[in-house]
A and B are shown apart, each in its own frame.
Chain A
Amino acid sequence: SAVISQKPSRDICQRGTSLTIQCQVDSQVTMMFWYRQQPGQSLTLIATANQGSEATYESGFVIDKFPISRPNLTFSTLTVSNMSPEDSSIYLCSVERRLNTEAFFGQGTRLTVV
């Protein structure tokens, strides 16, 4: 199994500000994923982050709004930029092991924008 530490677990932020969410894994992983879960909705993939290359964003998500860093095989950050109340969601990171179909998730970050 993989242990994922995601920080912060929750935050309340002012509109117009930015928040960076960190995801630390206890072992090297090839791919890391960032998801958003809006209230009452299922998880939606924001982007896939591979080490050493730019993140791949899903339709409806752009790098200027959700910049992602992946400096090494155990760490990634997601920034929610210029926040508005519509960004209030749970944000989750997830990892997939190389040659392994198991999925592991962080504890989630519950973001409220006021």
Chain B
Amino acid sequence: KNEVEQSPQNLTAQEGEFITINCSYSVGISALHWLQQHPGGGIVSLFMLSSGKKKHGRLIATINIQEKHSSLHITASHPRDSAVYICAVLRKETSGSRLTFGEGTQLTVNP
């Protein structure tokens, strides 16, 4: 079982739909990242969370530390939101911090 699991693996939506991507993890963490990867491979950090909820434009991220679960929501989705969304947890180890990544959710938003 992976330490970080995302669902769904693939998601197709119509423009304007509300989208939710889920992330569950099984290890103790100091923070959780939501990342966006575009077809060229480059990655942009959308959010870093250690508790509660953050909002940036049409994107909302929440985390429940007790339940070890986070969600990324996209309101009023748009075709330009099409990308791979990756959940990554940051663990503090004696050798330094370490990111563990989920396998990503491929989102396609159709016009």
A and B from one complex = yes
Residues of B with C-beta under 8 A to A110 = 40-41
In the assembly, what is the distance between CA of A14 and CA of B74, in Å?
A: 42
Other-chain contact of B40, A9, A37, A41 (Cβ < 8 Å) = A9
What number of A-B contacts does a CB cutoff of 8 Å give? 59
Question: Across the interface, do B48 and A108 meet the contact criterion of CB distance under 8 Å?
Answer: no
Chain A interface, DSSP helix/strand/loop, else mixed: strand
Q: In which size bucket is the chain B interface?
A: 20 to 34
Question: Across the interface, do B90 and A105 meet the contact criterion of CB distance under 8 Å?
Answer: no
Q: In which size bucket is the chain A interface?
A: 20 to 34
Please give the residue numbers on chain B whose beta carbons come within 8 Å of chain A beta carbons, in ascending order: 30-31, 33, 35, 37, 40-45, 48, 50, 86, 88, 90, 95-99, 101-104
Please give the residue numbers on chain A whose beta carbons come within 8 Å of chain B beta carbons, in ascending order: 6, 9-10, 31, 33, 37, 41-43, 45, 48, 56, 90, 92, 94, 96, 101-110
20 contacts between A and B (CB under 8 A): A31-B96, A33-B99, A42-B102, A42-B103, A43-B86, A43-B101, A45-B99, A48-B96, A101-B30, A102-B45, A102-B48, A103-B33, A103-B99, A105-B35, A105-B42, A105-B43, A105-B44, A106-B42, A107-B42, A108-B42
